[in-house]
Structure 1
Amino acid sequence: MASRSRTASCWGLSSFKDISMEFTWEEWQLLDSAQKHLYRDVTLENYSNLVSLGYHGTKPDLIFKLEQGEEPWIINAEVSRQSGPDVGYLFW
């Protein structure tokens, strides 16, 4: 019986959104500094790995923010006015 190797073409194309994880502002606040640092490291490494596999999409704003040491979420102004100042979403 011949073995069949699986390749990227077998699985289809991936995007950064396929391998990234989203947090709400509230969820992000529950993480301690070590967890936030781990998230940053893993997210940047996953993006780097995706690029090394031939990903040619636009660099996500999230990656720019993490590379600059910034928080990965922004306050959504329209939602903030409706729900209060603590509502936010991760930057994608």
Structure 2
Amino acid sequence: MDVRQGSVSFEDVTVEFTQDEWQYVDPAQRTLYRDVMLENYSHLISVGYCFPTPEVIVKLEQDEEPWSLEEESLNQRYPGE
């Protein structure tokens, strides 16, 4: 069996939502999402993975909506795409 180990990035264990997608996530799923994302982040930090705190984590820690503003701003710059 060929087992290869490589670095894991936060992006490897992240799911991001747009505001449109987030509206379809029910409250129980939102809570689960928050818990899993914060747990994944804390696990990476605990094994020594050093990187700036991702915006989604900052939002989740402050009980804000975690959707990706990047896609929203793209839609505003390029309406209809």
Which category describes the TM-score, using the shorter chain as reference length? 0.7 to 0.9
TM-score, normalised with respect to structure 2: 0.79
Aligned counterpart in structure 2 of residue 62 of structure 1, from 56, 64, 79: 56
Decide which structure has the larger Cα Rg and report it.
Answer: 1
C-alpha deviation, 1:46, in angstroms:
0.5
- Unaligned stretches of 5+ residues in structure 1: 1-5, 84-92
Aligned counterpart in structure 2 of residue 28 of structure 1, from 22, 25, 49: 22
- Aligned pair in 2 of structure 1 residues 26, 78: CA closer, same or farther (>3 Å)? closer
Structure 2 counterpart SS, 1:30? coil
Matches within 5 A, 1:1-92: 10-73=4-67, 74=69, 76-80=72-76, 82-83=79-80
Aligned length: 76
**Percent same amino acid among aligned pairs?**
51
Q: Which residue of 2 aligns with 1:87?
A: none
Q: CA RMSD in A?
A: 2.1
User: For 1:36-85, what per-residue CA distance to the aligned partner results, in whole angstroms no more than 9, with x for missing partners?
Assistant: 011001100010001111110111011101000000013723413614xx
Bigger strand fraction = 1
- Unaligned stretches of 5+ residues in structure 2: none
- Relative contact order (alpha carbons < 8 A, sep ≥ 6): 1 or 2 greater? 2
